[in-house]
Chain A
Amino acid sequence: DQQVKQNSPSLSVQEGRISILNCDYTNSMFDYFLWYKKYPAEGPTFLISISSIKDKNEDGRFTVFLNKSAKHLSLHIVPSQPGDSAVYFCAAPASSNTGKLIFGQGTTLQVKP
């Protein structure tokens, strides 16, 4: 049972344009979400998070939107840069007071110069 889903395996955008990465979840008990960025053969790096009490969180070029009724979140990167090319994972803690994260399958973003 895939509780966190990223249905787009890949996304290609032009440098300077907006990148929108999507994530859906099925467990309505999830109340915190995280986005990670990963380069090949390296560990994921935390990007940005959002609590379910908010519908938007912004950090520089990165903004995450949460639509609880649709069980959907999205990561917007504006403007996109070639260095943003990586695999992006959304994740949610399995429950409170746990370090266990449930990850989506990831979306590979390619930003073309």
Chain B
Amino acid sequence: KAGVTQTPRYLIKTRGQQVTLSCSPISGHRSVSWYQQTPGQGLQFLFEYFSETQRNKGNFPGRFSGRQFSNSRSEMNVSTLELGDSALYLCASSSPWGDTEAFFGQGTRLTVV
């Protein structure tokens, strides 16, 4: 069974630009969550999508947005990039119900210069 796939693995963008990251969950998983990890920080929850609907949202500005497609693939978008957006962005997929672990992708390392 294929794992969670995130593309691209690495990205360098300039301040003010926008970026789109992609995540393909494990087959059959309908929940996709996004997390941001910055140096010295834990994993900060961005948002969760389930059946194409945003089910949960973290405390991030509106520049961070996402969506989920009918095949459960998800994208997140960051507009008007700031230097502080440089981070490892992680996607996790899980089965719809609780009490099961979330499976993470390798992450996308975004560097804003």
Contact = CB atoms under 8 A, between A and B. Distances in A.
Interface of A: 32, 34, 36, 41-46, 49, 51, 89, 91, 93-106
B101 A99 contact: no
Nearest to A94: B56
Given A46-B102, A96-B98, A103 B43 contact: yes
B70 interface: no
Nearest to B97: A97
A99 B104 CA distance: 12
Contact of B98 (A32, A43, A103): A32
Interface of B: 4, 6, 31-33, 35, 41-43, 45, 48, 50, 55-56, 88, 90, 92-94, 96-99, 101-107, 109
A100 B33 contact: yes
Contacts, number: 74
B99 A100 contact: no
B103 A46 contact: yes
Contacts of A89: 42-43
B42 A103 contact: yes
B106 A100 contact: no
A44 B90 contact: yes
Nearest to B88: A41
Given A41-B88, A43-B4, A104-B42, A99 B102 contact: yes
